[in-house]
Amino acid sequence: MAMAVLIGAGPGLISQAAAAETSEIAPQTKTSSEQIEKLIGTLRDSGAVSGADLSQRRSAFEKLMASTPGPARVQIRRVDANGVDGDLIWPARLHHPIGRRAILYLHGGGFYSGSLRTHANIAGSLAKAASADVLLVDYRLAPENRFPAQRDDAIAAYRWLLTSGYKAGNIVIAGESVGATLAIEVVLNQLRLSGPLPAAVVAMSPITDFAATGASLAANAASDPFMNKAELTLIHDAFARDRPAVDPDMSPFYGNVSGFPPLLIQVGAREALLDDTWRFADKVRQAGGNVSLEVWPGMIHQWQIFPFWLDDARKSNERVAQFAIAHFVDKPMQ
């Protein structure tokens, strides 16, 4: 079963079939529009999302996120998750990790940027809102480390949770952009091996098709300021130049999704990846999966990691937390 939720009306390509599935509509506010335009300007000025030099992009993104608030009212413990550095984050009201419910968070950043610092805020927000431990991992980056290093690190982190006392039914895997790609790929790997599956998966602004075949890559080209075919090619070449873009080990759209656990997908209506997102959601649904798809008006790629600047980021993160709570076997005490 799939549920499509159109969170408001706004620019972007929405198919008739998708619109027919929409179960809830809330209009975008003027404040939301103003906030997203200010964010676009900030990102452009930062140099974090443009230019051919990936090391400069990485440094610019680190500098930008270092200027933002760190997570509040949480505790953080550095861990070695099967050889992968990570931060285990939990609500500050507790003296030790919850040890029962966990969210494995895989950061975005085109496989070439992102770190424990850049995504500490969203990870901390989810820990508090979901009353769960969040494992934020510092997987190896491209181009220094090419595929399958990133996927292998994500799999290693998931297995660390399983061997650290967390039941699969109390683990949700989440991520945004290429982090969402990794979240999906961890599950596809588990399906191939008939391994324990997480309770659910959250894919925020996922990249599911590096072959760039989605219609909205052209239709939304003018409304998406950062993601396009050229950007997908740049990311692909940086981490997997020697592999075909349709390889299911890195483009989940081409994988076997039969048996996929409950899935929440969030995508912005302005995203060039909107059509790819709809197609992947439909593929999981056709395979018998339970999919909740949210299309947020006026939102751009990866908006969820900016809750300190966007009201819609805070709202979307809260929905992620509620989705996780709904699928944990052991619910948090109210």
pTM: 0.94
pLDDT in tens, 251-263: 999 999 999 999 9
| Interacting residues of 219 by C-beta distance below 8 A, sequence separation 6+ | 13, 275
pLDDT in tens, 98-109: 889 999 999 999
3-class DSSP assignment, residue 30:
helix
Domain locations in the chain? Answer: 2-25+50-327
Superfamily of domain 2-25+50-327 in CATH is Alpha/Beta hydrolase fold, catalytic domain (3.40.50.1820)
Residue of 11 and 34 predicted with greater confidence? 34
State what percent of residues in the chain have pLDDT above 70: 92
φ, ψ dihedrals at 24, nearest 5° = -160, 135
φ, ψ dihedrals at 245, nearest 5° = -65, -20
Rounded to whole angstroms, the Cα distance separating 148 from 251 reads 12
Q: Which is it for strands 74-81 and 84-91: parallel, antiparallel or unpaired? A: antiparallel
DSSP structure class, residue 240: H
Rounded to whole angstroms, the Cα distance separating 267 from 6 reads 10
3-class DSSP assignment, residue 264:
strand
Of the residues 32, 177, 223, 316, only one is catalytic, namely 177
Q: Is the model's pLDDT at 222 over the cut of 90?
A: no
In the annotation, is 271 catalytic? yes
Q: Is the model's pLDDT at 1 over the cut of 50?
A: no
Of the residues 271, 292, 294, 316, only one is catalytic, namely 271
Q: What is the mean pLDDT of the chain?
A: 92
Q: How many CA atoms lie within 13 A of 333 on its CB side?
A: 2
Instruction: Using alpha carbons, select from 166, 104, 96 the residue that is nearest to residue 138.
Output: 104
pLDDT band for position 296 (cuts 50, 70, 90)? very high
Q: Which is it for strands 102-106 and 84-91: parallel, antiparallel or unpaired? A: unpaired
The amino acid at 132: A
Most confident of 3-12, 181-190, 219-228: 181-190
φ, ψ dihedrals at 86, nearest 5° = -155, 165
Q: Rounded to an integer, what is the distance from CA 36 to the centroid of its chain?
A: 18
In the annotation, is 301 catalytic? yes
Asked if 177 and 202 count as a contact pair (C-beta separation under 8 A), the reply is: no
Of the residues 119, 236, 301, 327, only one is catalytic, namely 301
pLDDT in tens, 44-64: 999 998 888 999 999 999 999
Q: Which is it for strands 291-296 and 263-268: parallel, antiparallel or unpaired? A: parallel
Our CA angle for 326, 159, 321, nearest 5°, is 20
pLDDT in tens, 143-190: 999 999 999 999 999 999 999 999 999 999 999 999 999 999 999 999
Rounded to whole angstroms, the Cα distance separating 198 from 42 reads 36
Residue of 193 and 96 predicted with greater confidence? 193
Asked if 206 and 277 count as a contact pair (C-beta separation under 8 A), the reply is: yes
pLDDT in tens, 234-280: 999 999 989 999 999 999 999 999 999 999 999 999 999 999 999 99
Mean pLDDT of 325-332: 96
Our CA angle for 274, 173, 227, nearest 5°, is 25
pLDDT band for position 5 (cuts 50, 70, 90)? low
Q: Rounded to an integer, what is the distance from CA 157 to the centroid of its chain?
A: 16
Helices then strands (H, E): number in the chain?
A: 10, 9
